[in-house]
Amino acid sequence: MALQINPSILSADFSRLADEAKAVEGADWLHVDVMDNHFVPNLTLGVPVVESLGKATETPLDCHLMIDDPDRWAPQYIEAGAGSVTFHVEAAAAPVRLAREIRAKGARASMALKPATPIEPYEDLLPELDMLLVMTVEPGFGGQAFLDIMLPKIRRTRQLIDKHGLQMWLQVDGGVSAATIERCAEAGADVFVAGSAVYGADDPAKAVQALRQLAEKATGTPGT
Ligand SMILES: O=C(CO)[C@H](O)[C@H](O)COP(=O)(O)O
């Protein structure tokens, strides 16, 4: 199992996005939170900014669409340079068709679950996905406290992935920090989004390394 740390640009200084992206080169992916002020009560950035970010960094872009109508918008984020696109199952009209379209366009297909959305109804969809994102805060804002009531869902999702013999990744996002990453890793997550824990640190690149070491220690697994 590869362990990956994905800094979330949501916690960066938006007036210096290119520099902030460069500050975490060495991370596995740059997590880009797209919010539309409808699906979540916050507004961040859209396709043109993703396109510019892609030109500013060598780190591949992991775009998390917290938006209504991802069926319509996801292809545009791939064309803008996203290497992985996550849509919310609560917002997608046709999640299977959307996952297939994302893969057909050459990106990794990922589906997210808000905290109150269970994994079990979506077991049969797992083979259509390259990653499943279990939100560990209510989506919309960085800097929230980790919801440890999500740990059983992370465990159950890992069991389903293993039961089906899938190689897909299991991502967690929200409140992931030095204080919580080991519990997430022990529960079976292998991709960790961290916003304030990385960009709130004096040295974001060192914070990425420190988080990676903690996740590796918790699982006894070297990362990528
Ligand atoms: O999706 C998100 C919020 O909806 C962010 O990626 C997440 O909150 C990261 O910030 P932090 O690590 O500070 O919680």
pLDDT in tens, 66-80: 999 999 999 999 999
* CA 123 / ligand 1 centre spacing (Å): 25
13 occurs within a structural domain: yes
Full domain range(s) for residue 115: 4-219
- Which amino acid, 198? V
pLDDT in tens, 127-170: 999 999 999 999 999 999 999 999 999 999 999 999 999 999 99
Which atom of ligand 1 lies closest to the CA of 35?
A: 4
- Complex-level ipTM beyond the 0.90 threshold: yes
224 occurs within a structural domain: no
Q: Was 15 annotated as part of a binding site? A: no
* CA 139 / ligand 1 centre spacing (Å): 7
pLDDT of amino acid 2: 74
96 pairs with which residues across the strands? none
Q: Was 64 annotated as part of a binding site? A: yes
Please give the model's pTM, rounded to 2 decimal places.
0.97
The mean pLDDT of 91-120, rounded to a whole number, is 98
- What is the separation of C-alpha 48 from the centre of its chain, rounded to a whole number of angstroms? 20
pLDDT of amino acid 52: 97
Instruction: For residue 51, give the H/E element and its range.
Output: helix 47-56
pLDDT in tens, 148-160: 999 999 999 999 9
Two tokens at 86?
């996550």
Active-site entry in 36, 62, 173, 190: 173
**Number of domains the chain contains:** 1
Rounded Cα distance between 26 and 5, Å, is 9
pLDDT of amino acid 221: 79
77 occurs within a structural domain: yes
What is the pLDDT of the chain when averaged over all its residues? Answer: 97
Pocket test for ligand 1, best of 6, 137, 180, 192 (most atoms within 8 A of CB): 137
pLDDT of amino acid 223: 55
Which atom of ligand 1 lies closest to the CA of 8?
A: 6
141 occurs within a structural domain: yes
157 occurs within a structural domain: yes
Ligand 1, CB cutoff 6 Å, lining residues: 8, 10-11, 31, 33, 64, 137, 139-144, 173-176, 193-197
Q: How far apart are the first and last CA of the chain?
A: 9
Which atom of ligand 1 lies closest to the CA of 40?
A: 4
| Banded pLDDT at 85 (limits 50, 70, 90) | very high
* CA 147 / ligand 1 centre spacing (Å): 12
Q: Was 54 annotated as part of a binding site? A: no
| Banded pLDDT at 117 (limits 50, 70, 90) | very high
Rounded Cα distance between 223 and 4, Å, is 6
**For position 198, which CATH number holds?**
3.20.20.70
The mean pLDDT of 10-34, rounded to a whole number, is 97
pLDDT of amino acid 224: 54
174 occurs within a structural domain: yes
207 occurs within a structural domain: yes
